[in-house]
Structure 1
Amino acid sequence: MVSVAPLLLLLISWVSLHSAEVCRGTHCHGGDTSDPRPCTGAHCPGSRSSRPPRQFNPNAQGKAASHHHAHSGSPSSSVQILRGTRVRLPEVLPAGCTDADCAALFRQFQASNDTRECRGIECRLPLRIRPKARAKSCAGEGCLSGSEESQLPPVHLSDRAAQFLGDFPELGYPSSELGSAPLGVQLTCDIKPGENEVPSEDALILHLQLAKGQEKLVEALRAQQAIIRDLQQKLADQQEALLSQQREILEQQRRMYEQMDVVKAQYGLLSDTVKQVSFQGLQGELQSYFESHLAGLQSQARSHLQKSYAVHKMDIDSKVMDVVGEAHFPQPLLGCPSPCGSEEYCDFQRDPPQCQKCTMCPPGFFLISQCSPTADRMCQDRDECLELPNVCGERVKCLNTPGGFRCLGVSEREAVMGLCGHDYFYNQELQECQACSDCDGEPITVPCTAVSDAVCGQLSESRLSGSWVAKVAVPPARTASANIFPGLQLNIRGKDSSDLLSNEAGQVTFLQHGLVWMDHNFAIKHSCRNFLQVGMRLNTSQEEEGQDISGVRIEQPDGKYFQGVSVSSGVEVEPNHTFTLLLKSPNQHCNQSKDLHVYDVAAPSLSLLWLSHDTGAVAMTAQMSVLAHYQTSYRPTFRLSSVSDPYMITLTHDNRGVRFTESGVVKFVLQQALYSMGHTCIREGFSLIAYTNRNGTGQEAMQAFKTGVNYRDTSITLSGAVNVNSGDTLGFEIMSPSQCNLRYFGDNTGISMLSLIWIPSAVSSALTATVSRTGLPFGAVRNKPLLFQQISPDTPQVHLARSGEPNARKNFIFHEKGTANIALNLKLIHSCNIVKLTLQRPADQGRQAGPVAQQVSGSMPEGSEWASIGLRASFPVQNGTALYVTLDCIRGRVNQITHEGGTNISILWVAV
């Protein structure tokens, strides 16, 4: 194939040179030339060196026509090149001709293969649409007349290149007459009108180039697909290797944790051994000292006191009396100043010796020696791993610990299922099995369970509720833990001690089972980007990070002013559960030392309401199912997170409400984070409404108002108490302006959460009221009380003072001892720099008058029409306790307080 192209070029150039010569003489005629001059020379027709004429073959023409002229340009006589020699084949005369002159005359009327009369694509067109040749000037005998020219049959001219390729079998293709398939490039002239007409020769060439380009493109795409498959295979191999490495890392971490547990256990055993060895060494030294000086002490005692003292010989395992005296004149002290009673011994380790109560052997220890007047009781740890070889199973290693044992590699879930066995419980703090307390004859308040120890003491089932309050402070900015971006823990500082909980290290640890309702009033001024978030977190164990049970976002204000928010939550707790308050920021821009200013309210800001399980109360928490963004009104759907009794509290069929099986009082809080867009949001704000549906009739129970913001993250929250009957449902709806677009958010930080506690009517009651239409304070308001109008029916436990009674429409009076919770929402228009809302308690039954709870809010945002402020608190009440609410405006005036939606108060009472 390499030598074909040069040979073809040489052949075409040779033909063009010979055909360029002028044919001269009288015998130059026919279709080969249009020169009328006489033909002379070697190139005249009939010469031996001239090109052999084409033979007329009727059969060949018929076959070509049947194949759409596919081979009309193939020559009937072949020219072969063998080793550079041209061989002339014998000439074949046409039918009916006997000499060369006849053949020459016949060739004048047959189709000529010379393409000089037609050029380009014209030679490819059919004869019926091929343009006719122009008339040429002709002189001589060989010229035909016009009538003769018109009678000539149509000719079919083949391309000259195809003609020469046909002459050379090595370059062209065999004739179809021989039965061979065409090879190489074929030029066809069988174009039918109206079907596949080719406008020009360039279009044909372009079509061939496009076909080749498509083949190359397909080949390139196939190569790229192969490369992509190789890359995908390599990526899969790398991912598999990465997964295997991660599995190895996790396995190494697990082994490391096991080794750390073993090291901790060994360290505990070592410390106990060191203590025992040091104690035994001290006993040996004291005994040797006593034996060496015993004789001298006895003689000195006889000489000075003139009396023999019986020296009591001590047992080796008992404690030795301490002998004190001067350096050169020691004086023995052989007993305590007064004789010790039963279950007491004389402790000679103290100076002077004192009587101490005998130590009781703790759970998991057994008695070695009884308590004596001179020695305490001796106890030794039980080795559960030796006494019970299969306590942890055959494949789990057992490790003995003081007072218990540990099963290495056992998860907390397996231990909770009862792995520790009888008389043992799983200590979540130590992550080991501990022996249950036997109470030693005392009454058992709470029995030992699989996860908690027994509680000894007097029975306290009679107490149904309790409360606890504390102040909350922000840690100073100079401390290392004062970083708001990951979460800053607020310090809880409670003054009152309680057997319900303990307050240490700024957090609350619960000591008893029950249900807890928590309220926190928080006022802050900040300029942090986006928002600040204050929330509540409950930790079930020290190892876990904890669960966020509530959260409220405080938006970034346009100007620096105080913003007051209230955070609430209801949850079921167990002993050793810890409760903390957190302050978060979504970025690191917030600098506590410059940007945060917390308002120090006069009353405690954190309050807790504890309910015993004996009340029959049920707690539920649900997460809001946040979808797209809504307009004007939004009814959230809920997804249950936890419920202590699913029979009493269930969701409705559309998950938009909560259904109650029995009548009672419901204490609820709903918190929803949102992002608002539109100036109408600032002017009109948002409203969150709680509805109770009874027998298909809805009634508004509570409503809270939130000042609108534009392009800000914020939250709206509503808390209250309402009476429900069997079959009633509780639903919620958020109302917004028509041209205000809202996007609702939700995550696991408690910002979109519903918490509620249902309490039976036998031990609880609720009262709701709104502000009175008359007597509302306005103008320059300084500690003026608010007047209310009761909405709900009267209850035996609490009521609003009526007309004719002292402090009518002002005081809420309780008639039975218990624990109360108040939620207050106030919607107003003001120009105050600071607004204070305070819940006051007058002096009664020996108690001083003072604030129970207080909340602070700043100036109204620019462009807003209404503002809001609210507070929540829990506190104990007695028979005759009275409460009232005061409003205080600093540097400004109060213009209006609405008495319709957005202003209300709910009071919950629970028996103590």
Structure 2
Amino acid sequence: IVQPQHGVDSNRRTNPRTITAEVFHPGCAGGTCPTSVSHRPTSDDSAARECKGIGCKLPPLMRQKHKPCIGDGCSGGDDGRGHSSPVRVTDRAAQFLDELPDFGSERGAFIQLTCDMKPTNEVPSEDALVLQLQLSKSQERLVEALRGQQHEVKELQRLLSEQQGTLVNQQRDILDQQRRMFEQMEQDRDECLEIADLCGDQQKCLNTPGFRCQGMTERDANSGMCGHGYFYNSDMDECQACNECDGEPVTSPCTFTTDTICSGPAAGDSPLSMSWAGDASLLGAKGHILAHAFPSVQLHIQGRGDVGLVSAENGHLVLRQHGLVWLDENLSVSHGCRSFIQVCLRMNNTDGSEGRDLSGVRVEQREGRSLQSVTVSGVAEVAPGHIMSLFLRSASHHCNQSSEGLQLYDPSAATLSLLWLSHDTGAVAMTAQAMVSGHYHTNYRPVFRTTSTSDPYVVGLTHDGRGIRFAESGTMRFVFQQALYSMGQACVSEGVQVLAYLNHNGSNMELFRAFKSGVHYRDTSISLSGAASVDPGDTLGFEIISPAQCNVRFFGDETGISILSLVWVPAAISSSLSASVAHTGLPSGAVRNKPLFFHQTSPHVSQMGMLAKGSADQKRDFVFRESGTASVALDIKLIHSCNLVKVTLLRRSDSEGSGGGREVAGQRPVPLAQQVAGQMPEGSQWASVSLRASFQVHNGTAVFFTLDCVRGRVNQISHQTGSGVSVLWVAA
């Protein structure tokens, strides 16, 4: 601590009191100001010596009483009215600061130190910001780590549940094996005791679930040493009792070295094919369901019964078994959008990611906003947990904002149907995308590139990509959907047709043909579906035909708008049937639920056929003679003035096990599927309607089609081209 110097020094720094006096009295300079107060160190020092205790730390002015002022120095302290002048107050403040012993003798140094001092607990603003950012980043990393741990915990829980399920199944299998073993031991015979000289010597016979002869060779077994009702099991090296089929058909009888093979449920075979039916609609109202402008709307799927094959969850369809799946959706829709809308069939993986569109169909814009019938189909190889969804998507947001922006018709039968095929059938699923054409055409043969196939050896593309080749005999069902843009009035009046050809031994044969009323300067889609038998070396090709004055451009993208979907089933467990509309007895006029008659065009098969009604050319019922699953596709080309045209597939109510398909009075047929179309397009000569569905059949099941016209009449049905039905049958 530097003690204050009380002497007069020329080098002494300017006193702050002098500076303060100069501020208040501009005429005052240096130490000549009259308000300067002389410092008396003697009295202060004596006062300092007299103080004791903590009071010594206080300034002298605070620890001693004021004494009366004597001398000239008192004249400047009062203005004569009892108030101290501002100069005196400032001087006293400076004197008070100067008398603090801890801050030194120089008052200027105290002022400088107060400017430089910073509280020890104060953090600069930049450091606080950096610290706050570091804390926030640490919190984010902590939250991210917690999320990762939660995800890992969920994954571990899922794996644990799967392992527990696997363990439970293994334990169940072990219990079943033990049960069968115990049952076999309780019904087992001791052949060694019951049958004398069974092995030539009683000592050589060993009792087992069958019996064993010591030293028996394969040659002894082939000679019949095991005896009647037994066969030699080379894996166990013993004779075992032949299996009994319990009334089921025997595929292969018991021999000296092989057991009996049963063809029925006693053999424990899993099903080869199954079907499922449900509905797809918009949420909102009953009957006609309304919606406003939309970019994408999901259709809500609901099931009609649960067979353990699929389940409807949150409007989606969740698959429960491995295999191949074929889906058909019959939709009746009207919209007020300025462009087309698109119906999409989409499949996602088990976790909902990595989805892809299986199929897509465009519904064109129409001025009259009439109801349009749309059928979308697709095939895929699936696993448990795969998700199927249906969407409606608009090409633009310029849709009618009224309450009739979008309408769906609610039919009286299931709109969505599914055909499932087990991998044990040896079936093959294939999809191929049609390439985009950069030019306008009148006649066009599409070129494909393979998108997916479960067995490229059996089903694949030809070298030029224009056909699908088959390496083995079997039955195939296909659907070809092509998006197009056409211009020309001839497109509207005459329409567009798509044909399917089968090349057999170098010669082309037309299989099926479908008609679609054309459009002018607009987008639409045309599709064709059918089923047929194929031989090794056969190829399937397509051609789209339009009028001479109609220019058509064909599109394709990843949304499935131009795609071929195909499923092939081995000939041993499948068959097909094709029929065209009969040229006599066609319904016309005011048609009310009148049946359609057909003429079979494919060779006869043992699994199904047509039941005659009146004459050989008028057949109504399709009768199945073996259990299995059937998938049908119907196309009708007609002229009408009806507000609504309904095509319905029905099953005879007494057909289960009856064998004859005869209708009993008082029993009504059961509708399986239905498709509804609106008025004919303005300016078009013909209209068309398509229906596709899959369903379960038994021995004696009979189905038929009906046509219904609401508020109008049917003028003509084409029986030459564009109208027909095809059926695929797969064993159960």
TM value normalised by structure 1: 0.51
Task: Report the counterpart of residue 135 of structure 2 in structure 1.
Answer: none
Shift of 1:596: 1.4
Q: Specify which of 506, 512, 528 is matched with residue 315 of structure 2.
A: 506
Determine the structure 2 residue equivalent to 1:888.
Answer: 708
CA deviation profile, 1:872-897 (whole Å, cap 9, x unmatched): 00111111111111111111111111
Aligned-residue CA RMSD in angstroms?
2.9
User: Given the superposition, is the C-alpha separation of residues 858 and 487 from structure 1 closer, same or farther in structure 2, using an over 3 Å criterion?
Assistant: same
Q: 1:691 to 1:484 in 2, by over 3 A?
A: farther
1:514–1:543 Cα change, 3 Å: closer
**Equivalent of 1:443 in 145, 160, 173:** 173
Q: Which of 708, 718, 726 matches 1:898?
A: 718
Query: Which residue in 2 is equivalent to 1:525?
Result: 334
Q: 1:724 to 1:689 in 2, by over 3 A?
A: same
Q: Distance in 2 between matches of 1:631 and 1:831?
A: 32
Verify the 8 A CA contact 1:403 1:435 in the aligned structure 2: no
Aligned to 1:725: 535
Equivalent of 2:676 in 856, 874, 897 = 856
User: Is residue 682 from structure 1 mapped to residue 486 from structure 2 by the alignment?
Assistant: no
The residue aligned with 1:348 is: none
Provide closer, same or farther for how the CA distance between residues 546 and 486 of structure 1 changes in structure 2, counting only shifts above 3 A. Answer: farther
Q: What pairs with 1:47-196 in structure 2 (closer than 5 Å)? A: none
d(CA) in 1 for partners of 2:140 and 2:347? 25
- Number of residue pairs matched by the alignment: 491
TM-score by length of 2: 0.64
1:537–1:548 contact (8 Å) kept in structure 2: yes
> 1:477·1:592 contact (CA, 8 Å) conserved in 2?
no
User: Which of 466, 474, 497 is equivalent to 1:664?
Assistant: 474
Q: CA deviation at 1:743?
A: 1.1
1:491 aligns with 2:491: no
Q: Is the 8 A contact 1:467 1:875 kept in 2?
A: yes
- Assess if the C-alpha contact under 8 Å between 1:404 and 1:434 holds in 2: no
Aligned-partner residue type, residue 700 of structure 1: E
1:707 — aligned with what?
517
**Distance in 2 of aligned mates of 1:470 and 1:547:** 22
Give 1:764-779 correspondences, 5 Å limit: 764-779=574-589
Is 1:554–2:363 an aligned residue pair?
yes
Q: State how far apart, in whole Å, the 2-side matches of 1:570 and 1:778 are.
A: 36
Q: CA deviation at 1:669?
A: 0.5
The match for 1:469 is: 277
Which structure 2 residues correspond to residues 316-465 of structure 1 after superposition, within 5 A?
A: 403=156, 436-443=166-173, 461-465=269-273
**Change beyond 3 A, Cα 1:748–1:842:** same
Aligned twin of 1:368:
none
The answer as to whether partners of 2:335 and 2:365 remain within 8 angstroms in 1 is: yes
Compared with structure 1, are the counterparts of its residues 800 and 484 closer, same or farther at alpha carbon in structure 2 (3 Å cutoff)? farther
CA deviation after TM superposition for structure 1 residue 528, in Å:
1.1
**Matched residue type, 2:278:** A
| Cα distance per residue 1:200-242 (max 9 Å; x no partner) | xxxxxxxxxxxxxxxxxxxxxxxxxxxxxxxxxxxxxxxxxxx
Whether 1:868 aligns to 2:671 is no
CA distance in 1, matches of 2:144, 2:423: 37
Q: Is the 8 A contact 2:293 2:405 kept in 1?
A: no
Q: CA deviation at 1:702?
A: 1.0
- Are the counterparts in 1 of residues 352 and 387 from structure 2 also a CA contact under 8 Å? no
**Partner of 1:599 in structure 2?**
409
State the alpha-carbon separation in 1 of the partners of residues 325 and 632 from structure 2.
Answer: 15
Q: Return the letter of the residue paired with 1:548.
A: D
Give yes or no for contact 1:554–1:563 (8 Å, CA) kept in 2.
yes
Deviation at 1:634, TM superposition (A): 0.5
Q: Which amino acid aligns with 2:356?
A: Q
5+ residue gaps, structure 1, are 1-254, 269-398, 406-423, 428-432, 445-457
| Closer, same or farther: CA 603–549 of 1 in aligned 2, 3 Å | same
Distance in 2 of aligned mates of 1:592 and 1:579: 31
Superposed CA offset, 1:290-313 (max 9, x none): xxxxxxxxxxxxxxxxxxxxxxxx
Q: Which has the larger radius of gyration?
A: 1
CA distance in 1: counterparts of 2:587 and 2:169, whole angstroms: 60
Is the 1:475–1:482 contact (alpha carbons within 8 Å) kept by the matching residues of 2?
no
Kindly indicate whether the alpha-carbon contact (under 8 Å) linking 1:485 and 1:586 is maintained by their aligned counterparts in 2: no
Match of 2:455 in 1: 645
- Tell me: CA distance 1:540–1:888, structure 2 relative to 1, closer, same or farther (3 Å): same
Report the residue type matching 1:739 in the other structure.
Q
Corresponding residue for 1:264? 147
CA distance in 2, matches of 1:259, 1:888: 67
Cα distance in structure 2, aligned partners of 1:530 and 1:257: 47
Distance 1:485 1:804, change over 3 A: closer
Instruction: Report the Cα distance in structure 1 between the residues aligned to 2:372 and 2:330, rounded to whole angstroms.
Output: 11
Aligned partners of 1:510 and 1:256: how far apart in 2?
41
* SS of aligned partner of 1:801: strand
| Per-residue deviation, residues 825-863 of structure 1 (Å, max 9, x unmatched) | 000111111111111212115696221111011111111
For 2:453 and 2:389, locate their aligned partners in 1 and report how far apart those are by CA, in whole Å.
22
- Counterparts of 1:257 and 1:486 in 2: how far apart (Å)? 36
The gaps in structure 2 that reach 5 residues or longer are 1-137, 175-265, 657-666
Equivalent-residue separation in structure 1 for 2:475 and 2:516 (angstroms): 26
Counterpart of 2:30?
none
1:536 corresponds to? 345
The 3 A distance-change label for structure 1 pair 488 and 759 is same
Give CA deviations for 1:43-85 in whole Å, capped at 9, x if unaligned.
Answer: xxxxxxxxxxxxxxxxxxxxxxxxxxxxxxxxxxxxxxxxxxx
- Determine which structure has the larger strand proportion and give its number: 2
Q: Is the 8 A contact 1:558 1:861 kept in 2?
A: no
Q: 1:436 to 1:484 in 2, by over 3 A?
A: farther
Identity level (%): 52
Tell me how far apart the structure 2 counterparts of residues 822 and 474 of structure 1 sit (CA, whole Å).
26
Q: Is 1:702–1:720's contact at 8 Å kept on the other side of the alignment? A: yes
User: Aligned partners of 1:494 and 1:615: how far apart in 2?
Assistant: 26
Letter in 2 for 1:856: V
Closer, same or farther: CA 597–803 of 1 in aligned 2, 3 Å? closer
Change (3 A) 1:769 1:261: farther
Q: Secondary structure at the match of 1:704?
A: strand
Looking at structure 2, the residues matched to 467 and 256 of structure 1 have their Cα atoms a distance apart, in angstroms, of 53
Provide the residue aligned with 2:652 in structure 1. Answer: 842
Partner secondary structure for residue 263 of structure 1: helix
What do the CA deviations read for 1:113-139 (whole angstroms, capped 9, x no partner)? xxxxxxxxxxxxxxxxxxxxxxxxxxx
Match for 2:373: what amino acid?
Answer: G
Distance 2:719 2:415 in 1: 27
Task: State how far apart, in whole Å, the 1-side matches of 2:161 and 2:524 are.
Answer: 43
How far 1:435 sits from its partner (Å)?
Answer: 8.5
- Matched position secondary structure for 1:802: strand
